[in-house]
Amino acid sequence: MSEHQRGLPRFAGDGVLIAGGARAILLQLAYPPVGRGVVDHSDFAGRPLDRLWATLAYAYAIVYGTEADRVRAVRLVNRAHSPVRGEARGTAPAYSAYDPQLQLWVAATLYDTAVVVHEELFGPLDPAEADALYDAYAELGIRLQLPRGQWPADRAAFAEYWAQMLPRLSVDADVHAVSRQLMFARSLPAPLGLAMPLARLVTAGLLPDAVRSAYGIRWTARAERRFRRTLAITGLLWPWLPVSLRQWPQRRSLAIIRRG
């Protein structure tokens, strides 16, 4: 077990975190340089699950994989990032997937989403577990081009960074169109397609209010009640599922990395 795995809460490797996957992606897209890079270089309409599985595969490899898995994951991500760069044009910002600040934001959305999903379903983390989780997620950026000193020093510093970033988020027409491709994907397998209305509800409920509004998502008292009911049922039933089923996304993600 590596140093950043010690003390990790058991849920960190649990597939329940996928419930927040679309939330993390929408937060990433709302940061204009990240959103512009995705608009220019991603194909959500044709391959709506690719970004989710790619992100999961990288995260699981860094946190739970062997050192060989981590090296392979970093190489694959850097290869994918290589063409993702663009100059500023009009009001659109310049971007590069190698930019440490963009990598910081992507890692931050994954960490914040993991915490939000856990707290919404199971309550607050123990402080020691919270610190271990925070340190583990730092590696997601640091293994790429993020200097270690740029990851906020502790959870209090992260809260300050997060509060400073939220007002910088915005959603233009192009990013909104990509978000629709993600949330209303037409090329999903039938079972996943049937689950999308529930996925959209959970994603919207997990988003910060301002970001939800930026995407034009109408949130009503009825939606809030349905969201809370869904969380309550999930939080009650999920721990009773077999561990092998709950950890299937982790196993599949590591297999993706090992296949290259």
User: For residue range 226-255, what is the model confidence (pLDDT) as tens digits?
Assistant: 999 999 999 999 889 898 888 888 888 888
* 14 pLDDT more than 80: no
Beta strands in 27-163 (DSSP E): 85-86, 95-96
User: For residue range 179-203, what is the model confidence (pLDDT) as tens digits?
Assistant: 998 888 776 666 677 778 999 999 9
Q: How confident is the model at residue 108 (pLDDT cuts 50, 70, 90)?
A: very high
Residue whose token pair is 């897209």: 29
Extract long-range pairs of 145-148: CB within 8 Å, 24+ residues apart. Answer: 145/98, 145/99, 145/100, 145/103, 146/100, 146/103, 146/104, 146/107, 147/100
Structural domain for 164, as ranges: 3-259
Q: Are 183 and 195 in contact (CB under 8 A)?
A: no
pLDDT the model gives residue 241: 87
* SS3 category, 96: strand
Number of domains in the chain: 1
User: For residue range 35-61, what is the model confidence (pLDDT) as tens digits?
Assistant: 999 989 877 656 667 777 788 888 888
Q: Which two tokens stand for residue 231?
A: 């969380």
User: Comparing 224 with 92, which gets the higher pLDDT?
Assistant: 224
* 1 pLDDT more than 50: no
* 224 pLDDT more than 60: yes
